Amino acid sequence: MSATRAIEFDVRDINLAPDGKRRIEWAEREMPVLRLIRERFALEKPLEGVRLVACAHITTETANLARALQAGGAESMLIASNPLSTQDDVAASLVADWGIPIYAIKGETTETYNRHVRTALDFHPEIIIDDGSDVVATLIKERAEQIKEVIGTTEETTTGIVRLQAMSNAGVLTFPAMAVNNAQTKHLFDNRYGTGQSTLDGIIRATNILLAGRTLVVVGYGWCGKGVALRARGMGSNVIVIEIDPIKAVEAVMDGFRVMPIREASLLGDIFVTVTGNRHVIDRQHFANMKDGAIVCNSGHFDLELNLTGLRDMSDEPVTLRPFVQEYKVKANGHRVIVLGEGRLINLAAAEGHPASVMDMSFANQALSVEYLVKRKGNLQPGVHLLPREVDAEIASLKLQALGLTIDTLTPEQIEYMNSWETGT
């Protein structure tokens, strides 16, 4: 840990800052909605003096969110939300160029990750931007005396919202939580098109394999799974979908995909991608079934979707073939199973996460949710909240404007018709 410019931080190498700054500014070009928010925040200072912790993937896009929050007057510090997702040059630039304390190193151990979570709590945040709910869970488990200092939290991902809802049901969530993921301008685009594209990008960067003609198994057909399946089909893969929800399974069938249990698909797949938010969806018996050379990765939030402990037990010592590519030889049949990115989010481990253009809308939601919480300090009920629908629509309108597109509006005649019941056949 070091201190320059009177701030504490823990990054790999502060000298990487110039590269990080160039990349942050490159991403900003694709984030016009967040830029408009930043410019307004700079004038209005809605977050003046608010102590804010963001536990996020430290990427160029997150850096632009941090800039917007800083422009709004927040005193922020950032920590990594995943040990493998940090872009070290971005972390360095946020410290050196924007004076924001960052605690994030790509490849940090779980122990360091947890230490950073506790450092974030030592900052005594009033607002917590979380991605997976680790900071909020640690606060509740270990720092009960600090809970009264918290105005609220905003949560970026599906898994975090599932955890917040469980905390709310257990009666331990005593402050408001904004479900950023559940805004339409977040999950319809970020989870689907962002995860769809960047997951394949991660697989390709890690392996340089051709997707065309391969059988690709997508486990989970939620927003992320739809994106992965859609994009993999576009690249020429034969896609099989695995689901436990009958409605999603029918949807996958109607979308033209083969649907079957993982037990059957485990015999057929060349590439497996998990995006369920659930545990051990690829388990020992599935690894045992796989073809020689099958490639397995995860793009769901936590690294427990693949039972890697089980795979380790069944195999010889894994061999690293390339960065983010480890080969396990299954003792029972000699088949090689290739695991990418240690089972962590492959799009952030081996690629750069979602493109800036899609994070523009996700982080517009984050910035506006923080403002919403601060403006309503003390007036919101504990529990999980959604941003008002008008805010969602406003973000979409700004995005259309940035894309140079206009759409129609209802004519007075149409408004009258939509509000009447007399006219029928």
Ligand X SMILES: NC(=O)c1ccc[n+]([C@@H]2O[C@H](COP(=O)([O-])OP(=O)(O)OC[C@H]3O[C@@H](n4cnc5c(N)ncnc54)[C@H](O)[C@@H]3O)[C@@H](O)[C@H]2O)c1
Binding stretches for ligand X (CB under 6 A): 157-159, 187, 191, 195, 219-225, 242-245, 248, 275-278, 281, 299-301, 345, 347
Secondary-structure breakdown of the chain: helix, strand, coil percentages, each rounded to the nearest 5:
50, 20, 35
Cβ–Cβ contacts within 10 Å for residue 115, how many?
16
Q: How far apart are CA 231 and CA 240, in angstroms?
A: 13
Q: How far apart are CA 143 and CA 261, in angstroms?
A: 43
Spell out the SS3 assignment of 107-142. Answer: CCCHHHHHHHHHHHHHCCCCEEEECCCHHHHHHHHH
Q: How far is CA 372 from CA 187, 188, 365, 384, in A?
A: 19, 22, 10, 13
CB of 28 to ligand X, least distance (A): 20
CB of 258 to ligand X, least distance (A): 14
Strand order in the sheet with 102-103: 102-103, 75-80, 51-56, 127-130, 152-155, 176-179, 383-385
Query: Which residue's beta carbon is nearest to the bound ligand X?
Result: 222
CB of 374 to ligand X, least distance (A): 25
DSSP per position, 270-309 = SEEEE-SS-S-SB-HHHHHHPPTTEEEEE-SSSTTSB-HH
CB of 179 to ligand X, least distance (A): 12
Radius of gyration of the chain (CA): 22
Nearer to ligand X, 191 or 237 (CB): 191
Token pair in block for residue 85? 């997702």
CB of 197 to ligand X, least distance (A): 10
Q: Which helix (H) or strand (E) holds 95?
A: helix 88-98
CB of 262 to ligand X, least distance (A): 6
DSSP per position, 208-275 = ----TT-EEEEE--SHHHHHHHHHHHHTT-EEEEE-SSHHHHHHHHHTT-EE--HHHHHHH-SEEEE-
Nearer to ligand X, 301 or 385 (CB): 301
Nearer to ligand X, 242 or 395 (CB): 242
Nearer to ligand X, 241 or 294 (CB): 241
Nearer to ligand X, 175 or 272 (CB): 272
Nearer to ligand X, 84 or 370 (CB): 84
- Which residues are CB-neighbours of 270 under 8 A, at least 6 positions away? 214, 215, 216, 291, 293, 294, 295
Nearer to ligand X, 67 or 286 (CB): 286
How far, in whole angstroms, is CA 100 from its chain's centroid? Answer: 21
Nearer to ligand X, 10 or 190 (CB): 190
Q: Which of 99, 138, 91, 92 is nearest to 117 (CA)?
A: 138
Residue owning tokens 């859609």: 230
CB of 407 to ligand X, least distance (A): 26
CA angle 33, 37, 41 (to 5 degrees): 170
CB of 415 to ligand X, least distance (A): 34
Nearer to ligand X, 46 or 196 (CB): 196
CB of 347 to ligand X, least distance (A): 5
CA angle 224, 227, 232 (to 5 degrees): 125
CB of 181 to ligand X, least distance (A): 7
Token pair in block for residue 87? 């872009």
The answer to whether the CB of 151 falls within 8 A of the CB of 105 is: no
Nearer to ligand X, 101 or 269 (CB): 269
Nearer to ligand X, 195 or 207 (CB): 195
CB of 295 to ligand X, least distance (A): 17
